[in-house]
Chains A and B, each alone.
Chain A
Amino acid sequence: MEDIRYEAPATVAAAVKLLAGAKGTAKVLAGGTDLLVQMRSDIVVPSLIVDIKKIADTGTIKKEKGGWRIGASVPCAVLGEQAALVRDWPGVVEAAELIGSTQVQGRATLAGNLCNASPAADSVPALIAAGATVAIAGPKGKRTAKAEEIAVGPGRTSLQKGEFVVSVFLPPRPKRASDAYLRFIPRTEMDIAVVGCGIALVLDKKGLIEDARVSLGAVAPTPLLVKEAAKAIVGTSLDAQALEALAAAASAACRPIDDKRGTKEFRIKVAGVLARRAAETAYERARAK
């Protein structure tokens, strides 16, 4: 780790200018829980680190048009302290609270989890299921992307040179809507997902599913939005037949690898099981509202 330049600009424009003008590898620093580990093991050798925490907009959670605007440097630990946010998006918050340890959650961010582009990132399937969008700043100005458009492969994102994520937006919730995230790990805490599943549901007055979004993590090179799985439960009251169709569609969407955490066959099977359980939890939460 030789001569690395560190900058902590106060504005989005100054950060973009630094990132766009960098020679060599420029890295954005928010929580640093991935970046510092990658630097220490020489996986990443940046020539420039741009710390975005002094940019006022990145550090706040704000209600916006009925939804939630979460700044790119807001630590995950802060999310669970916002009762109204937990009420609207319990699945997103429970996913964020599964990232690493209490200590890691004191620094790690949703935007960082997205941009680290791990296929197994816990908060990403929850964000995709939530229909979250991402505000991106860059040399050509601002743009908005869907959460599922950020990762394009393990460790690779669709962000262009000079671009960085300023905030994540969770849309407003209608009545009778909720979400849930579940993951499988071989122990009870502090591990990387073997499979993760986020599901967001909206129910009609009769308790039938009006709208659904299903996302799976750790079963493909990027977290997946599984439209077929959502289709399997829309219009149903999540009866046994719908749950079976959901599990089958979730399993069918998996394109996993074999590794030390789980085999292909295991991941495919568990994806179906988790989809069923996450859907049941999201459904119960939605009915209670």
Chain B
Amino acid sequence: MARHHITTTVNGDIREVLVETTQSLLDVLRNELLLTGTKEGCGTGDCGACSVMLDGRLVCSCLVLGVEADGKEIDTIEGMAQGEELHPLQRNFLEHAALQCGICTPGFLIAARALLEKNPSPTETEVRFWLAGNLCRCTGYDKIVRAVMATAKELRETTHA
């Protein structure tokens, strides 16, 4: 099996890794770089559990080959909190009980942050459509949507203060 030497920036750190052609970026993150915060759900791009940012764009890491990450910047859930300080989205997910089993949570957080960076004042409908590619079988989505809306409000107030 051919192996490729790739250099990629993950959460700001330059990482070098050998990857097999058929390894997905998700496999590389979890099994080679031991960043297991990104989860595998379906492996076919339907559930969003493996969401990461690839050069600033939200993607499913199961639908990216590891070798494609050469020279790219990747942001995963491990880079979301600043040390001990949670990202406002993480804090609001806890406060609104927007998770139960937690498998979908890293993907929801990454996807929700991407939304708020693009659109700081989303409507509830916009939140629901943006997150339609993230599946959760525990919460019924309502608490997740409320946590995202609350974070958007909080971030707007902090910026204007």
Q: Which residues from chain A sit less than 8 Å from chain B, CB to CB?
A: 1-6, 29, 31-33, 36-37, 39-41, 49, 51, 53, 75, 77, 100-104, 106-107, 188-190
Contact = CB atoms under 8 A, between A and B. Distances in A.
A40 B43 contact: yes
Contact of B133 (A36, A75, A190): A190
A36 B132 contact: no
Nearest to A2: B1
A5 B43 CA distance: 22
Interface of B: 1-2, 4, 21-22, 24, 43-46, 48, 51, 54, 57-60, 62-65, 67-68, 111, 114-115, 129-134
A33 B63 contact: yes
Contacts, number: 89
A1 B22 CA distance: 7
A3 B2 CA distance: 6
Contacts of B115: 102
Contacts of A1: 22
Q: Which 6 A-B pairs have the closest CB atoms?
A: A101-B133, A189-B132, A1-B22, A106-B59, A106-B57, A103-B60
A37 B63 contact: yes
A190 B132 contact: yes
A103 B68 contact: no
B1 A3 contact: yes
A53 B68 CA distance: 9
A51 B57 CA distance: 18
Contacts of A4: 2, 21-22
A3 B46 CA distance: 27
Given A36-B63, A107-B63, A100 B133 contact: yes
A104 B133 contact: yes
Contact of A104 (B43, B63, B114): B63
Given A29-B65, A32-B65, A33-B63, A100 B45 contact: yes
Given A6-B65, A103-B63, 17 more contacts: A3-B2, A5-B21, A32-B65, A33-B63, A41-B44, A51-B68, A75-B57, A77-B57, A101-B48, A102-B131, A102-B132, A103-B45, A103-B133, A106-B59, A107-B60, A107-B63, A188-B132
16 contacts: A6-B67, A29-B65, A32-B64, A36-B65, A40-B44, A51-B65, A101-B45, A101-B46, A102-B115, A102-B133, A103-B45, A103-B51, A104-B133, A106-B54, A189-B132, A190-B132
A39 B23 CA distance: 11
Contacts of B51: 103
A103 B114 CA distance: 10
B151 to A, nearest CB: 17
Contacts of A29: 65, 68
Nearest to A38: B44
Given A37-B44, A37-B63, A106 B58 contact: yes
B5 to A, nearest CB: 12
Contacts of B21: 3-6, 49
Nearest to B53: A106
A227 to B, nearest CB: 34
Contacts of B129: 189
Nearest to B50: A103
In the complex, which of the residues A51, A53, A100, A103 has the most CB atoms of chain B within 10 Å of its own CB atom? Answer: A103
Contacts of A189: 129, 132
B64 A107 contact: yes
A113 to B, nearest CB: 14
